[in-house]
Amino acid sequence: MKCEELLQYLSDYIDHELDEALTAEAQEHLATCQNCRVVLDSTQQTIFLFREQGRRTIPAQSRTRLFNQLQDAFLKSKIS
């Protein structure tokens, strides 16, 4: 398995949804590829932190202001 393939299957690997053969290939690749281990670890930590924080809501006024800023930036980029 190459790095690109591992990244394609990363979500399913984390969720334990790969078949045995692909899981074995992913584990073999991870055993020899430091970069992919870092990506896997970072992704798992991000998921963990997100779950720990829970869902936060943006106050309505801030959400409206943010939406307006995004819309303005989008419209300006279309003009350029």
pLDDT digits (tens, 9 = 90+) for 36-56: 999 999 999 988 888 877 666
* Whether the predicted model's global pTM rises above the 0.75 cut: no
- The per-residue pLDDT for 52 is 76
DSSP per-residue letters across 1-49 = --HHHHHHHHHHHHTT-S-HHHHHHHHHHHHH-HHHHHHHHHHHHHHHH
User: Which stretch of DSSP H or E encloses residue 75?
Assistant: helix 60-79
The residue segments making up the domain with residue 28 are 3-79
User: Which residue's structure tokens are 């998921």?
Assistant: 47
Residue 30 has pLDDT above 70, yes or no: yes
**Beta-carbon-side half-sphere exposure of residue 69 (alpha carbons within 13 Å):** 6
Q: What is the mean pLDDT of residues 10-38?
A: 95
State what percent of residues in the chain have pLDDT above 90: 59
Average of per-residue pLDDT across 72-79: 79
Q: How many independent structural domains does the chain possess?
A: 1
